[in-house]
Amino acid sequence: MSAAGRYGGLSAAERRAERRARFREAGLETFGAGAGYRNTRLVDLCQVAGLSTRQFYQEYDTLEDLLRELYLHIDSIVEQHVLDEVARVDDLPLDGRAAATVRAYLSHITRDPRCARITFVEVNGVGERMDDQRRQRRTRWIDLLCALLDSFTARGELAPRDFRLTAATFLGSVDGLMRDWSAGWIDATIDQLTDVLLGMLLGRLGAVGIPAMPVTPDSAQLVRRRPRNRRATILAAATDAFAEHGYHRTPMTDIATAVGTTSGALYRHFRTKQELLGCCLKEGLDLVLNHVDTACGGDAHADAALTALVRISLERRGLARLWQLEFRNLTPVDRIGVLARSVRLTHRIGAAIQARHPGISPADRDALGWVVLSVVTSPSNHRTRLPEGVFARILDASVDAVIGAVIGAETVQSDAAGAGPPDTSVDQGSELRTEQLIIAAAQLFSERGFAAVSIEDIGTSVGVRGPALYHHFESKSDLLDEIIDRNNRWIQRYTERALAEGGDPRESLRLVLRYYVHFAMERPDLVGTAVSEARNLPDDAAARYRRIHREGIIGWARLLQSVRPELSMPMARVLIHTVTTVVNEAVRNPRLTRRPDMVAELCSLGELIALTDL
């Protein structure tokens, strides 16, 4: 097929335009909110774009080429916005037109702080080509300002003169002031910046008799004193947003809106979105640790740590999900900080287990500790609502059941160890290459996250390149949809088999759990992708998955109610979510999967949780 052919519904030109747009958005994020132009590696930028380095070199020769395109793209959009505003206020007097022009420029260039950082900070000192481009754009702005000032002269509002030196001086002041503002060295609102620059311009023009701009109610609101808890409010909103939508799918503007402030205000607290993510996790874990340490003070029993941990996990349900799914997006330094805090937390849990089982081996103690942590953090993986006291009681009982378990050689049960999962082999008619793509995609999505993997990365891993990829799947989203759909079909299949084979509800419940554990152990990438990446599906597909997943949990909860009729549906759902969280996290934890009897141990622990005495 010719290079001009259509793949995935797009022509070659449309695909190229889409790629360049994705590279520009990735540049906006990495240069303007991340490490900055000088500290960005090509591989990191391509991960953010979800494209390959090969595709980058099809569009650009160097990262500087992308920076130059991005700078020109931003500056051209701002210029058009200013021209539109100048035309709109043409009937205003001089001070009104000048104020509207300055405000239009500042408000648009600062609307996204990433644009301001690139325009005023990142492009400085890059190289001769970048400097030439900036001089060309500066000349264009000087011409535009001179034309505006000439229009003032034509109306008799200013005496005729050559305004070029005035325009160049003013634009130099704008550049210097905005560079300091973008770097965080100046703390000012857009109104304050406009007043300063407008006064400078009008004073230079000799229009000193023009009255100062009145302070509008909106501008008065912008300069109000910041709340003392602004940082904590930002962290709470960011934690919820990152946990709900994912780090890559959450722009800073959404967090700012949730807090009731501007993106610029966020960047005065946190230099980059990645720094904000790190602070969410580190300071969130500090809060948890302080809560636990306080509970363990004095003569308190070691179990007090577990009770405190359950309560704080219910208060901060989003924190655990953020920890589980976004750890890979932290900087190396922040990863170390988060790991250090998690070690302190697991030591507290380990002390409680050791107090209950003085002779337990370190390996078994640590294994139970990770399971306890999964129980405690399980509420972050679902939205089931219960009165806080009831919810805490269920988690307390589940933790107690896990700590009371005896694992190791004694745990092996012949029925659990010998029972295999239902037949989950692929359909015989499926193409081998398609199956390879699905397996490779599940592994890459689970390890690196959907946003950091391109469909070309998936194809390369199985030796499929170029247009041949689109004979199997039109897009990366289609691959993700197939993975999650296949996960759902297999779960439905083993559930139906367990219900058919079980002699009574309790036996069917035991079989469902056993088949699920086997399935998850054999296909941890499939399970991991379904758990962590479903939110990256298109809205309609994501809604369909949530419905199917909810129906599956309800079906399992009804089976549990058949065994335990005293449970309400919400209580049964919480227990089932707790069991599945333990399994889903255990099969992706190398410390646990290396245990020789992990399947039998998970089956035993899952049954203990589901049947725990409340």
For residue 389, give the 3-state DSSP assignment.
Answer: helix
Dist CA 100 CA 109 (whole Å)? 14
- Please count the other Cβ atoms lying within 10 Å of the Cβ belonging to residue 47: 23
- Please count the other Cβ atoms lying within 10 Å of the Cβ belonging to residue 291: 18
Strand-pairing partners, residue 7, are 10
Give CA angle at 259 (254, 262), nearest 5°: 65
Segment 400-451, tens digit of pLDDT: 999 988 776 544 444 444 455 545 444 433 457 778 888 888 899 888 888 7
Per-10-residue mean pLDDT of the chain, 614 residues long, equals 44 79 88 85 85 88 92 90 86 84 86 86 89 92 90 86 89 88 76 86 66 41 53 90 86 84 76 90 94 85 89 90 88 90 91 89 91 94 91 95 76 46 44 79 87 80 69 78 88 88 92 94 91 84 88 93 95 96 93 90 95 90
Structure-block tokens of residue 36: 């900055």
Q: What pLDDT does 7 receive?
A: 40
User: How is residue 183 annotated by DSSP?
Assistant: T
Q: What pLDDT does 209 receive?
A: 42
Give CA angle at 411 (409, 412), nearest 5°: 80
CA-based nearest residue to 8, from 474, 471, 466, 479: 474
Secondary structure of 475-504 as H, E, C letters = CHHHHHHHHHHHHHHHHHHHHHHHHHHCCC
Q: What pLDDT does 2 receive?
A: 39
**Spatial contact of 270 and 261, defined as CB atoms under 8 Å apart:** no
At position 340, the amino acid (one-letter code) is A
Token pair 């999505």: residue: 445
454: left (phi over 0), alpha (psi -120 to 50) or beta: beta
Dist CA 354 CA 351 (whole Å)? 5
**Spatial contact of 72 and 123, defined as CB atoms under 8 Å apart:** no
Q: What pLDDT does 291 receive?
A: 92
Structure-block tokens of residue 352: 């409680």
**Spatial contact of 599 and 521, defined as CB atoms under 8 Å apart:** yes
**Spatial contact of 416 and 599, defined as CB atoms under 8 Å apart:** yes
Q: What pLDDT does 565 receive?
A: 95
CA-based nearest residue to 107, from 243, 262, 237, 245: 262
Per DSSP, the residues of 29-49 read HHHHTSS-GGG--HHHHHHHH
Per DSSP, the residues of 406-470 read --SGGG--HHHHHPPPP--PPPTTS-HHHHHHHHHHHHHHHHH-GGG--HHHHHHHTT--GGGGG
Dist CA 243 CA 249 (whole Å)? 10
Dist CA 293 CA 319 (whole Å)? 18
Q: Domains along the chain? A: 11-60 (1.10.10), 62-205 (1.10.357.10), 228-404 (1.10.357.10), 432-611 (1.10.357.10)
Compute CA distances 149 → 109, 167, 177, 601, whole Å. Answer: 22, 9, 22, 80
Q: What pLDDT does 286 receive?
A: 94
Residues 217-224: contacts with CB under 8 Å, at least 24 apart: 219/189, 219/191, 222/189, 222/190, 222/191, 223/189, 223/191, 223/192
Q: Is the pTM of this model over 0.75?
A: no
Question: 117: buried, middle or exposed (CB in 10 Å: 19+, 13-18, 0-12)?
Answer: buried
Structure-block tokens of residue 244: 């709900």
